[in-house]
Amino acid sequence: MTPSRRRRRRLTILATVTTLALTGTTVPAFADPPAEAPEQVRNGDFSDGVSPWFSFGTGPLAVTDGQLCTTVAGGLANPWDAGIGQDAVPLVAGAEYTLGFDVSATPGTALRAVLQLGAAPYTAYATVDATATATRTRVEQTFTVTEGNDAAQLIFQIGGAAQTQTVCLDDVSLRGGDPPEPYVPDTGPRVRVNQVGYLPGGPKNATVVTEATDPLAWQLRSAAGAVLADGVSTPRGMDEASGQNVHSVDFSTYRTAGTGLTLVADGETSHPFDISGAVYEQLRSDAVQFFYAQRSGIAIDGDLIGEEYARRAGHLDVAPNRGDTDVPCQPGVCDYRLDVRGGWYDAGDHGKYVVNGGLATYQLLNTFERTKTAPTADGGAALGDSTLRVPERDNGVPDILDEARWELEFLLRMQVPAGKPLAGMAHHKIHDRNWTGLPLDPADDPELRELHPPSTAATLNLAAVAAQCARLFAPYDRAFATRCGTAAKTAYAAAKANPARLASPTDSNGGGAYDDTVVTDEFYWAAAELYLTTGEKAYLTDLTASPHHTGDVFDVRGFSWQGVAALGRLDLATVPSGLPAADRDRIRASVTAAADTYLAEIADQAYGLPMPGDPGSYFWGGNGNIINNAVVMATAFDLSGDVRYRDGAVQTMDYLLGRNALNISYVTGWGEHHAKNQHSRIFGNQLNPQMPNPPAGSLAGGPNAALQDPFVASLLAGCKPQFCFVDDIASYSTNEVAINWNSALTWIASFLADQGGAPVPTPSTCRAEYVDYGTWSGGSGFTAQVTIRNTGSTPVNGWTTRFAFTGDQKLREAWLAKAEQKGATVTAKNESYNARIAPGGTVTFGFNALTGGGAKPAPGLITLNGSPCS
């Protein structure tokens, strides 16, 4: 700043600061801080749009002619009943700052800028009072703060005027304090491992960051330091994703269980890890627990998940909440109000979005559905009733279905009621009218909640998961299953009648847009789920006519909420259906072909993850996509029994749990050094020590080379893809929590937990034939017969075979086998007289069953002693 400009500024201060509040912590000063004083406010000129500014008690925040403007109603009781602010402003005790801003208000009002603790007791560190008129004026004030806070809140309190105002701000600046430290992440030892551990029978890989170009000696050491195994590394050269010269280490041949092991190479000792069949057992339950902690509309019970997570019910219209039991639409969108209580908060915000809720619900339901047929899943016992931390424990329903139902009930409420315009469609989302600050307990959110327009994508998400609900809940709650089935059909029909109602990409005030211009994939997914549930030809016709039925749906960069054709494809591959065998085989082959692509990517990447190394492969929420590639590999394993696919899924987890450039586990509470400051209004510990960190098992979004929030835009400029992440609550584009990422984690954690103790199924040595002899008693029951042929070269001595009904079919009695049914899964064991199946020989058993509702195709997957039969 030139001296003359400085003088001009001082004159402005004297001319425009009407009141200088002398609070206990504010000391006025009229000396300029050094000209080079660092800027502490992000996006103060609004050149990047609204973010990271938030507001409360105002109309929508918008950038107009380069200024941030909003409206505020007259007659509010207090100045702090409406405000505009930003979080995570660092203040150093004893340092001098100059706060400056341009402001105008029409017709005109007093306002107050406060630097404060962003949560009760809202300690003020500095306060500047000003008067805004219709003429844009600059306000500047210099002061010393006596109390520091690494992440204070800057708030412009603009409530309390008698008349309604339009307020605009520009060039907001807080100069002073410490220059931002050059950011150097703490990456710990240069030997990068899965910090949690490895399965005894699984792959064991690590990465060493080194200058060395020749192979390095490595040693696997016990907790006491004894050398358990050794070998040499493989130089891999420069890794594109990290910009590092690296070697890889493979110690898969060491299979003995142990704890506190380390890997030593190049003079560095890795973080400790275990080798154990149980490494993923607890993650199965932790990953689901996240959903309970995110529940809206119910008090969170500390006895269930820890006292620090206990909180009041959010958004049940108890003041200051204004939702969600009687929510209006955005102006002009509808003339009715809906009760849309419940569901999960999407992520770090308090929004609830049908699109993303759909994917997350699908994955929880599919985590369960997999257990019905997957050879290693033990019939779902580990996700059954009273196994997880949900308040509905002990109700006779598998706990993972209970958790999914919390969102399903919400999704059903989002459907436009009969008799209203667009009846049967689903509203795209419901959220706060404006972005709120952090942290914020849901029960304290004062913002108006609004329903946004119905969309085709949301409607098809509802159709798809409601169809899943209909078949999966059928054995447990017939009435609920029927309600889901009806909603699914109505939604699908409404989407067909309104195929191009797209959510607006600019509708992102107070919540995410979740816009999507291509909905053919949603149509495919919904048709697939409806067909699998009902067996009805109309849905089969629609899904086979879809370009996605034969197109490549498995992107090398994974799938997420915007592209959901893979969900339909995966379910058509695994859920029993009447699809012609050739088509089913083609679909299954497409899953294994995609898994082959991901395996090739793993082999290419020195950090062993199934994602390319270019910056475009590191995007917002990419950790979810990476896991979803593992889901495809895991499904390929479930279908084929080929352990290369299982190992690909297992190895993907190494990357997420520490084998990466930052040496960080992206799952809270898992691994020596793990992410714990994810962007969240609920888990706001970094901003308010009274609040908790995210619960163990919460997945961070992950490195995002596009640096899409102002915090990382300045902190990490120029980062190599794997370094484009910071464990700071301010970074929503790299480090948020979200239901669709934790649903991917839930799926894979359950799969991985199943691999620990499970014997590795040998590729199939049996062929199964299922013959349905048709219905009797007016259609209420049917008779079927199963024949198993031993296609191996050794006799089978004692057999257990398993298959699953699609919906509510109920086994009545079996002959030539001892059979029982749990949920939809049937297990049949030999009688004493037919225990042996000679090579090339067969056994046959039969049964009578009640038809129930929905489709009753031949089970697509029948296992013999844990191995899938062809």
Catalytic residue annotation: 349, 679, 727, 736
Q: Which is nearer to ligand 9MR, 203 or 351 (CB)?
A: 351
HEC letters along 296-349: CCCCECHHHHCHHHCECCCCCCCCCCECCCCEEECCCCCCCEECCCCCECCECC
In the complex, minimum distance from the CB of residue 706 to ligand 9MR, in angstroms, rounded to a whole number: 9
Does the footprint of ligand 9MR cover residue 143 (CB under 6 A)? no
Q: Which is nearer to ligand 9MR, 43 or 98 (CB)?
A: 43
In the complex, minimum distance from the CB of residue 374 to ligand 9MR, in angstroms, rounded to a whole number: 28
Q: Kindly indicate which of the ranges 82-90, 506-514, 661-669, 779-787 contains the residues binding ligand 9MR, using the contact rule CB under 6 A.
A: 506-514
Q: Which of 96, 108, 155 is nearest to 127 (CA)?
A: 155
Q: Kindly indicate which of the ranges 344-352, 432-440, 493-501, 586-594 contains the residues binding ligand 9MR, using the contact rule CB under 6 A.
A: 344-352
Q: Which is nearer to ligand 9MR, 474 or 738 (CB)?
A: 738
Q: Which is nearer to ligand 9MR, 289 or 740 (CB)?
A: 740
In the complex, minimum distance from the CB of residue 154 to ligand 9MR, in angstroms, rounded to a whole number: 23
Does the footprint of ligand 9MR cover residue 351 (CB under 6 A)? yes
Q: Kindly indicate which of the ranges 37-45, 108-116, 238-246, 510-518 contains the residues binding ligand 9MR, using the contact rule CB under 6 A.
A: 510-518
The answer to whether the beta carbons of residues 29 and 55 sit under 8 Å apart is: no
Does the footprint of ligand 9MR cover residue 706 (CB under 6 A)? no
In the complex, minimum distance from the CB of residue 683 to ligand 9MR, in angstroms, rounded to a whole number: 14
Task: Indicate the DSSP class of residue 433.
Answer: S
Q: Report 721-760 residues binding ligand 9MR (CB under 6 A).
A: 732, 736, 738
Residue closest to ligand 9MR when measured from CB atoms = 512
In the complex, minimum distance from the CB of residue 436 to ligand 9MR, in angstroms, rounded to a whole number: 12
Q: Which is nearer to ligand 9MR, 368 or 514 (CB)?
A: 514
The answer to whether the beta carbons of residues 291 and 406 sit under 8 Å apart is: yes
Q: Which is nearer to ligand 9MR, 528 or 738 (CB)?
A: 738
Burial (CB < 10 A; 0-12, 13-18, 19+), residue 28, is middle
CA distances from 436 to 1, 153, 510, 643 (A): 34, 12, 7, 48
Q: Which residues contact 743 (CB under 8 A, 6 or more apart)?
A: 291, 359, 360, 361, 362, 363, 364, 367
Figure out which of the listed residues 54, 620, 666, 847 binds ligand 9MR, where binding follows CB under 6 A. 620
How many chain residues are in contact with ligand 9MR, going by CB under 6 A? Answer: 12
The answer to whether the beta carbons of residues 839 and 788 sit under 8 Å apart is: no
Figure out which of the listed residues 347, 414, 481, 494 binds ligand 9MR, where binding follows CB under 6 A. 347
In the complex, minimum distance from the CB of residue 625 to ligand 9MR, in angstroms, rounded to a whole number: 9
The answer to whether the beta carbons of residues 316 and 341 sit under 8 Å apart is: yes
Q: Which of 601, 626, 623 is nearest to 612 (CA)?
A: 601
- Strands 825-829, 836-837: pairing is unpaired
Q: Which is nearer to ligand 9MR, 286 or 349 (CB)?
A: 349
Q: Which is nearer to ligand 9MR, 105 or 737 (CB)?
A: 737
Figure out which of the listed residues 87, 129, 346, 601 binds ligand 9MR, where binding follows CB under 6 A. 346
Q: Kindly indicate which of the ranges 96-104, 147-155, 343-351, 799-807 contains the residues binding ligand 9MR, using the contact rule CB under 6 A.
A: 343-351
The tokens 């370094």 sit on which residue?
723
Q: Which is nearer to ligand 9MR, 467 or 656 (CB)?
A: 656
In the complex, minimum distance from the CB of residue 733 to ligand 9MR, in angstroms, rounded to a whole number: 7
Figure out which of the listed residues 197, 512, 576, 622 binds ligand 9MR, where binding follows CB under 6 A. 512
Helices of type H across 606-738: 622-640, 643-656, 710-715
Rounded to an integer, what distance in angstroms lies between the CA atom of residue 719 and that of residue 729? Answer: 19
Q: Which of 822, 805, 827 is nearest to 575 (CA)?
A: 805
Rounded to an integer, what distance in angstroms lies between the CA atom of residue 46 and that of residue 39? Answer: 14
Query: First-to-last CA distance in the chain?
Result: 77
- Paired strand residues for 338: 327
In the complex, minimum distance from the CB of residue 518 to ligand 9MR, in angstroms, rounded to a whole number: 14
Beta-sheet strands, E only, within 342-387:
352-353
Figure out which of the listed residues 32, 81, 239, 349 binds ligand 9MR, where binding follows CB under 6 A. 349
Q: Kindly indicate which of the ranges 271-279, 358-366, 512-520, 819-827 contains the residues binding ligand 9MR, using the contact rule CB under 6 A.
A: 512-520
Q: Kindly indicate which of the ranges 316-324, 385-393, 507-515, 819-827 contains the residues binding ligand 9MR, using the contact rule CB under 6 A.
A: 507-515
Q: Report 622-661 residues binding ligand 9MR (CB under 6 A).
A: none
The answer to whether the beta carbons of residues 735 and 693 sit under 8 Å apart is: no
In the complex, minimum distance from the CB of residue 616 to ligand 9MR, in angstroms, rounded to a whole number: 13
Q: Would you say the C-alpha torsion 553, 558, 562, 568 has a positive or negative sign? A: positive
In the complex, minimum distance from the CB of residue 351 to ligand 9MR, in angstroms, rounded to a whole number: 6
Return phi, psi of residue 214, to 5°: -90, 160
DSSP labels, 619-634: -TTHHHHHHHHHHHHH
Q: Kindly indicate which of the ranges 134-142, 332-340, 462-470, 508-516 contains the residues binding ligand 9MR, using the contact rule CB under 6 A.
A: 508-516
Does the footprint of ligand 9MR cover residue 513 (CB under 6 A)? yes
Q: Which of 791, 787, 767, 770 is nearest to 870 (CA)?
A: 767
Q: Is 239 helix (H, G, I), strand (E, B) or coil?
A: strand
Q: Kindly indicate which of the ranges 246-254, 342-350, 473-481, 718-726 contains the residues binding ligand 9MR, using the contact rule CB under 6 A.
A: 342-350
Does the footprint of ligand 9MR cover residue 44 (CB under 6 A)? no
In the complex, minimum distance from the CB of residue 353 to ligand 9MR, in angstroms, rounded to a whole number: 7
Rounded to an integer, what distance in angstroms lies between the CA atom of residue 429 and that of residue 424? Answer: 15
HEC letters along 62-104: EEECCEEEEEECCCCCCHHHCEEEEEEEEECCCCEEEEEEEEE
Q: Which is nearer to ligand 9MR, 434 or 534 (CB)?
A: 434
Q: Which is nearer to ligand 9MR, 480 or 514 (CB)?
A: 514
Can you give the binding site for ligand 9MR, defined by CB under 6 A? 346-347, 349, 351, 512-514, 620-621, 732, 736, 738
